[in-house]
Amino acid sequence: MTEQAAFVRTDMVEQRRAPVRTTGIVGFARERLFNSPLNIMITLIGAALLWLILVPVVKFLFVDAVWQGSDRNACLEANVGRVVGACWPFVQAKFDQFIYGFYPEDQRWRVNLTFALGALLLLPLLIPRAPAKTLNSGLFFFAYPVVGFFLLRGGGLKGFAIHWLADLGSGFAASIVDAGTRLANAGTNMNRGLFSQPAAWIGEALAWIGRALGWLVWPLEWLRDYTEKFHSPLWADLVLTAIIVSLIAFFITGGFRNGWRALFTSIATFAGIAAVIAIMGLDGGGLPIVDTRSWGGLLVTLVVSVTGIVASMPVGMVLALGRRSTIPLIRLFSIAFIEFWRGVPLITVLFFATYMLPLFLPGNFTVDGLVRVLIGIALFAGAYNAEVIRGGLQAVPRGQAEAASALGLSYWKTTGLIVMPQALRNVIPALVNSFIALFKDTTLVLIVAIFDLLGQLRASFADPNWATPTTLFTGFAFTGIIYFVFCFGMSRYSLFVERRLNVHKNV
């Protein structure tokens, strides 16, 4: 057995090169910006473009900008003696107009309070770990719109649900009777034409339908007349409505066995309504009325966009489910509705809602101009959201609904608890994209004489006290920043929600 000599190194090993850094700014630049000739070229071109774009913008908005002044003379190169950039004194002078429009100055605290209440109720909904989501959602989606309406517009209440239903039902019934009577008279006056007798028959049928509706509404009219005998008909109407609704909720949800929770919830809801009426003085005329024609600026932009976004979601869900329904009548109606509203531009919808919608309303029933626009935008956006949601429904595997049916869940529970949450999670990017587009499309309300943020900006350009070469660019830069902040915020939050709801896909 031979012995092997042990090898002992007598000199040091040469030092190895340090590993390539992959973290920090240097690592990011090496891995993402300069890791190949093509990326190096793209990086250099992008840096050149950013230099050509950002430097002039920063110079215009900040370096060469004018920050103080009381009129146009502060933003003229002849008076300043240098190149003049943005004229920020113009924005300072017109800031209130950009936010409130022509809302009375002594009543603008109502707008501020509405904004504060909206932010106070919205922020807990956006925080995943915030408690009492159900209560907060109910306050934001149901109570806040009513409170915001009376804060912004003012006025009070003369009646409650019984009064409203009685007036609406009697007016609708009277309109049908009137239309049927006119059609019957027109058919009778025809010179024995081909359609004279059928027209008379149809008119008589409509008149009888209207009379039948009037008979059905008669109990509501009797209750309305009965409550008007009290000293405070509003409170009598509210109490009577609370009793009727609470009893119906009590017996529908299980009566003496399981209906107590619904009863207490209904009583608490009406107690909250009574507290709001008392605090805001709605039983005594409420706040001074501010016509919606005086609204403008960011106020109108937020009212139109938020109302359109919130109202279009249930419309889109119903239409998406209707288009997938197995009932032919519901499916055909949903398809016709979606294709009609998607086939016309928003400008046409706004004109139709503003000038033609009153022709379809019963009797002397009138709707405010801004409310007509809100209705048109909600229906228009709902048709687009319906197709987005339908895509999400088609992405849910059929086995999900079949498993729910095997467990004994009804169609509505399966849809509400199993299918629809997964569908909405799948289409978060597309829905937020529609919301952002709707937020920017609110600028089109200017064509129907409603001055939103961009409309107030264009109106402010007519002031000769601020007519300078840079006023136009300053105003558009200011409004552009506002729109970008809102749209970018929605985009970032949607990414946060998407990551949070799709954690299982990243495992």
Based on the structure, what is the number of domains in the chain? Answer: 3
Contacts of 221 (CB under 8 A, 6+ apart): 166, 170
The string of DSSP codes covering 272-300 is HHHHHHHHHTGGGT-BPP--GGG--BHHH
The residue among 449, 442, 447, 431 whose CA lies nearest residue 479 is 442
10 lies in a domain?
no
Beta bridge partners of 452: 297
The residue among 289, 365, 237, 236 whose CA lies nearest residue 110 is 289
186 and 97 in a single domain? The answer is no
404 and 449 in a single domain? The answer is yes
Alpha helices in 427-470 (DSSP H): 428-441, 453-460
- The pLDDT score that the predictor gives to residue 267 is 92
Give CA angle at 203 (198, 207), nearest 5°. 150
CA distance linking residue 101 with residue 453, whole number of Å = 8
Which of 236, 253, 280 delimits the end of a domain? 280
- The pLDDT score that the predictor gives to residue 182 is 76
Q: Which domain holds residue 47?
A: 24-63
17 lies in a domain?
no
265 and 357 in a single domain? The answer is no
- The pLDDT score that the predictor gives to residue 362 is 59
358 and 471 in a single domain? The answer is yes
- The pLDDT score that the predictor gives to residue 205 is 81
**Cβ(491)–Cβ(429) below 8 Å:** no
Beta bridge partners of 297: 452
Give the other-Cβ count within 10 Å of 256's Cβ.
8
CA distance linking residue 56 with residue 65, whole number of Å = 12
The residue written with tokens 């008909």 in the block is 233
243 and 143 in a single domain? The answer is no
428 and 461 in a single domain? The answer is yes
475 lies in a domain?
yes
Q: Tokens for 164?
A: 């409203």
CA distance linking residue 436 with residue 419, whole number of Å = 25
SS3 annotation, 114-152: HHHHHHHHHHHHHCCCCCCHHHHHHHHHHHHHHHHHHHH
- The pLDDT score that the predictor gives to residue 45 is 94
The residue among 237, 263, 265, 269 whose CA lies nearest residue 250 is 263
Strand, helix or coil at 407?
A: coil
Beta bridge partners of 66: 87
Task: State the burial class of residue 303 (Cβ atoms within 10 Å of its Cβ: 0-12, 13-18, 19+).
Answer: buried
**Rg of the chain's alpha carbons, rounded to an integer?**
32
Chunked mean pLDDT (size 10), the chain, 507 residues: 64 78 77 85 92 92 90 83 88 94 94 95 90 90 92 90 84 78 70 60 80 84 84 88 90 84 90 91 89 92 94 95 92 94 91 80 71 92 94 92 90 91 92 94 89 92 89 93 95 91 59
105 and 172 in a single domain? The answer is no
Q: Tokens for 183?
A: 């059609």
CA distance linking residue 216 with residue 218, whole number of Å = 5
Give CA angle at 396 (395, 401), nearest 5°. 150
The CATH number linked to 389 is 1.10.3720.10
Q: Tokens for 426?
A: 């799948």
Residue 310 amino acid letter: V
165 and 30 in a single domain? The answer is no
Which of 223, 253, 280 delimits the end of a domain? 280
Give the other-Cβ count within 10 Å of 479's Cβ.
22
Please tell me the number of Cα atoms within 13 Å of 140 on its side-chain side.
21
207 and 118 in a single domain? The answer is no
Q: Tokens for 16?
A: 């190895």
The residue written with tokens 């990243």 in the block is 506
49 and 149 in a single domain? The answer is no
CA distance linking residue 5 with residue 7, whole number of Å = 6
Which of 227, 257, 280 delimits the end of a domain? 280
Phi, psi for 25 (deg, rounded to 5):
-65, -40
47 and 150 in a single domain? The answer is no
Q: Would you tell me the crossing angle of helices 144-153 and 298-323 to the nearest 10 degrees?
A: 140
Q: Tokens for 120?
A: 């106070």
79 lies in a domain?
no
240 and 315 in a single domain? The answer is no
